[in-house]
Every structure is written in C-alpha cells, then in structure tokens.
Chain A
C-alpha cells in the first residue's frame, strides 16, 4: 500500500508540474529571446519599468466582470467587438489611421493583455514590443539608451521608463507645456526684437 500511495504522489506531482509548465508557457509566450536592453557592465543593471499594477484601468475585471475571459472553444472571442461605451469614450485618438480598431493592439482573446501582429499575446509589462512593431528606429535607440528616460542610479540599477510612461498610446505626441519662469532680464539689457 505505501508503495502504491508513493507512486500516486509522484504521478500527481508530475501532472501538476506539467500543468504549471504549460500555464507559464501560455501566459508569457515570447518570440525572441534576445536581451531586451543592452546589459550593464559589472554591477550595473538595466531594468524596464513595469506597467501592471500602475495602470488605473487594469485589469479590466475591475469594471467588466465577463469581458475578457469569455472565449469559445476555438479561442475566438465570443463577444462581438465592443462598441465604445461611456467609460472609454473620453479616449482621444491621434495616432495612425485605424487606431479605432482596438484589437490592433489589445488582445481580443484576453482584454487584459496586448497582442502583436503575429498573434502573440504579451502582457502590459511588454507593451514596448507592441510599439516596436512600427517604431523600430526608436526601439533601437531605446534599447541602448538614446531615447527614453532612465531613473534610479547610473552606477547600479538604471530603470528605463517604457514608451507608455511618457506617450499616451492612443495619442502619443507629447503635448506642449508652459515653460517655467525665465531668468530675470538684466537691468539695462536690450531685448531682442528682431530688428534695429
């Protein structure tokens, strides 16, 4: 009897491990395993800032109880493309033509996630991969540090802010701001008026 129960236990373990592994695979499918950012030398590290837990409207189930987890056996969404209702009507669209199609970036299978053109689902923490599909040049600059702000410490861990930390994805141009006060004009100085 103890032998049988041991076998049973091992079988259970194997089964659960298999489940776990498959679960992981499904959650975080990755196309390329290249290092995302240029790695720091020595003790230096570069880390991409995360989005999950920082977005007010994520996950969707805060408001929608059924919207994201319903799909039929074939993996197709069981609901029709959602018309914009009051909560999301405030969104400003000023990006490329066709930005009105939510499922170009949002995953129709699971609205909590994003989807690449290849059909690969990515989490909000990897939203830069969605942006990088079109903005390859900026993506390249961001990888090695020429674009995007780094915070933290130049010596230990640099936290690279991700695209949507600065750019609203639905209307990504940076809005004009009012400049902070100018230095006082010197007494007796002649202002530049453009002519004599």
Chain B
C-alpha cells in the first residue's frame, strides 16, 4: 500500500537514514540493537499514521475483494468523511454489485457521430476527473474519410464540426474480455468484473503504470498530481470502484459509469450524446440495441488482431 499523500511520502525515510549508515552489527549489544529496530519501526508507524489524510486504518486496508460487509461500511464511512473534510459536501457512496446475466457493451455509429465532444465533457463531470491537469477518458479522433489509419488521426481538432471529408471516432476503455492491463498488474489492483467491466481499486493501486504500458488503446490515465476539482464541480453520486475522488499516484480509466449502469441508467456519455451515436446495453439480452446491432450491422473493433476482445463495437450505416 503506497502512501499517496504528497506531504508525507518523504517522512518515513528521515528516521531511516540514520539506520542506513554502515553499522557493524556485531559491535552492538543485543539490547541496543533491538532498541534501534524498535525506534525505527515506531518512527515508521508514526509517520505512516500521520501521513496527511492517510490514516493507519487506510494503510492497513485490505484488498476490495477481501473486504467483509462490515469492513466495507468502515471504509466507506472513512471515504465519506475524507471527502466531506476536503469538499465540505456529503456524498452518496454506492458499491453496486454486477447484475447476474448482464454483460455490457457499447456500439458507436461512426456515420452519426459528428465529433462535438459532448460525451467527453459529460464524462469529466460525471466522473470527478481532474480539471487541471485536465484528464479525459474519451478521445475523439478526427480521421480522413475512407481511411482508418489512427496514426493520421487528430484529437485536438477545434471549431465547427463535422469538417468536410472527415469522420470522428470516439475511443475509450474497451473493457476487453482478455485485458492485457489486468494480467500485467503486479498487485491485482485491477480486474474484470462479471458484467465485463474492468475496474480499478484506487486504494490498492501502487501507481507502477504497467497497465498503461500494456493497454493497446491508451485508455488508462495516471494521476501525476492530486486531482484538482472545485467543490461545485463535485458529483456527489459516487461509486467505490468508479467515480469517487481519486488520490494522487493511482491509475484510473473508463468504467462504463458502473455506479449508474448497474442501477439501470445509461452511462453519462451515452446520455449526453446529442446525435444518438452511442448505443449502450446488455449484450446478453438478444433484444437489446447493442445485441441487435452486433447481429445486424457489420461491426468492427479496434485492433482486433490483438485478440483482446473489446466491448466497444463500431459500425457505419
């Protein structure tokens, strides 16, 4: 468990530097040796316990999958208190379980998307993403018509859209069925849930960024600084594995708005899309929009040859 607080990360090292000087252990008596060890341990514990907002309880918190309902209650109360302290706002923190027999997917009509970026900004608002530095889960790539070469794409286009001879391809986390980001995580802080969503436990992530290197879709984002977010910008409807305020030094990504979708709502991007290009639904239900599109339309996925099994399908019509 890493210390994510900017203030205290150096603190545990300070008492240790004295110990790290070359010491001839044989010259020490048993008592003084133990004393030194104990002092060092105590100093480290104190530093950890007093590490800004990071409490001892937080340091000792177990992995999400190992939390009992009572543990969860305690952890959620702690997160609520921390958010209240920082934003002076009460939040509603939920942790909806995956719905049985539901497997989520997106289908995006590239003929309809006009690159207006409403989805990008709705996502930022919904998911309490850092405003400065700006973090966005969705990239809308402007491509030349008749060409699917992503290297020739531009995601910094501005002005009136759609531009002549261009089309727009929104990308986000594909929630792969065979996710490379999950298999490289050295601590198991990210995993695939039953309904297909790949989630991150922000309290377990050590910030090594292996997953970012492994992801072929550039879907993961790293918090180099503590995310900045004004009080009035905070979305108080939060989920433990989704849009709660992240600490510094952890990786985050799109999670299909699981705090909304597992309760029956559409993701924020799909709801905000003014063109109706984004279709979301349960792929396991043959009457759902996405299942029908996959069945009837000629859909494609990005980087199919990598066999990652993406859940974001694209089609033209």
Chain A residues at the B interface, C-beta cutoff of 8 Å:
38-42, 44, 141, 144-156, 158, 161, 166, 174, 176-185, 191-192
Contact residues of B between 266 and 309, Cβ < 8 Å to A: 266, 271, 273-276, 279-282, 285-290, 292-293, 296-297
For the complex formed, measure the closest distance between the CB of B300 and the CB atoms of chain A, giving whole angstroms. Answer: 14
In the complex, the answer to whether B287 meets A153 with C-beta atoms within 8 Å is no
Q: Which residues of A contact B116 (CB under 8 A)?
A: 177-180
Q: A183 near B134 (CB under 8 angstroms)?
A: yes
Measured CB to CB, the closest approach of chain A to B19, in angstroms, equals: 40
- Which residues 227-276 in B have Cβ within 8 Å of A in the complex? 261, 264-266, 271, 273-276
- Across the interface, which residues of B come within 8 angstroms of A166, CB to CB? 275-276
Q: Are B287 and A149 in contact (CB under 8 A)?
A: no
By a CB distance below 8 angstroms, the chain A residues around B292 are 38, 144-146
- Chain A residues with CB under 8 Å of B279's CB are 145-146, 150
In the assembled complex, the Cα of A122 lies from the Cα of B116 at a distance in Å of 35
Report B161 CB to chain A, min CB distance, Å.
5
Q: Which residues of B contact A174 (CB under 8 A)?
A: 114, 275
Shortest C-beta distance, B99 to chain A (Å), equals: 8
Contact segment of B74-82, B85-93, B149-157: B149-157
A146-B293, A178-B161, A183-B136 known, 18 other contacts, Cβ within 8 Å: A146-B279, A146-B297, A150-B276, A150-B279, A151-B271, A153-B264, A153-B266, A154-B266, A176-B114, A176-B161, A177-B161, A178-B116, A179-B115, A179-B161, A181-B121, A181-B158, A182-B156, A184-B133
Q: Which residue of B lies closest to A153 (CB)?
A: B264
Within the assembled complex, what's the spacing in Å between the Cα atoms of A177 and B276? Answer: 15
**B residues near A, CB below 8 A?**
99, 102, 107, 109, 112, 114-118, 120-121, 133-134, 136, 139, 154-162, 261, 264-266, 271, 273-276, 279-282, 285-290, 292-293, 296-297, 315, 317
| A-B CB contact pairs (8 Å), 16 listed | A41-B287, A144-B292, A144-B293, A146-B292, A146-B315, A154-B280, A158-B289, A166-B276, A174-B114, A179-B115, A180-B118, A180-B121, A182-B157, A183-B134, A183-B156, A184-B134
Q: A39 CA to B289 CA in the complex, in Å?
A: 11
Least CB separation from A166: chain B residue: B276
Tell me the nearest residue of chain B to A179, going by C-beta. Answer: B161
| Cα–Cα distance between A179 and B266 once the two chains are bound (Å) | 23
> Do residues B282 and A179 form an inter-chain contact, with CB atoms below 8 A?
no
Q: How far is the CA of A139 from the CA of B156 in the complex (A)?
A: 35
| Chain B residue, CB-CB nearest to A176 | B160
A39 CB, min distance to chain B CBs, angstroms: 6
The chain B residue sitting closest to A192, CB to CB, is B154
Chain A proximity of B142: nearest CB distance (Å): 9
> Cβ of A146: which chain B residues have Cβ within 8 Å of it?
107, 109, 279, 289, 292-293, 296-297, 315, 317
Task: Determine chain A's interface SS by DSSP, over half rule.
Answer: loop
- Secondary structure of the B side of the interface? loop
A-B contact count (CB 8 A): 119
Q: Give Cα distance in the complex from A161 to B273, angstroms.
A: 13
Q: A180-B116, A191-B156 are in contact. Are A154 and B288 (CB under 8 A)?
A: yes
CB-based nearest B residue for A157: B264
Q: Which chain B residues border A154 with CB–CB below 8 Å? A: 261, 264-266, 280-282, 288-289
B271 A44 Cβ-Cβ under 8 A = no
Which A residue sits closest to B104, measured CB to CB?
Answer: A154
B276:A144 contact, CB within 8 angstroms: no
Q: Flag if B155 contacts A155 (CB, 8 Å).
A: no
- Complex-state Cα separation, A146 to B314, whole angstroms: 11
Q: Chain B contacts of A191 at CB under 8 A?
A: 156
Residues of chain B contacted by A156 (CB below 8 angstroms): 264
Which residues of A lie under 8 Å from residue B271 when comparing CB positions? Answer: 151
CB neighbours of B107 from chain A (8 A)? 146
- Contacting residues, chain A, for B288 (C-beta < 8 A): 40-41, 44, 145, 154
Q: Bound complex: CA of A136 vs CA of B281, how far in Å?
A: 25
In the assembled complex, the Cα of A157 lies from the Cα of B214 at a distance in Å of: 38
Also in contact, A38 and B287, with CB within 8 A (given A179-B116, A183-B156, A192-B154)? yes
Q: Is the CB of A148 within 8 A of B276?
A: yes
Q: Taking each of A141, A182, A191, which has the highest tally of chain B beta carbons within 10 Å of its own beta carbon?
A: A182
What chain A residues lie within 8 Å of B109 (beta carbons)?
146-147
Residues of B within 8 A of A192 (CB): 154
Given the complex, which residues of A lie within 8 Å of B118, measured CB to CB? 180
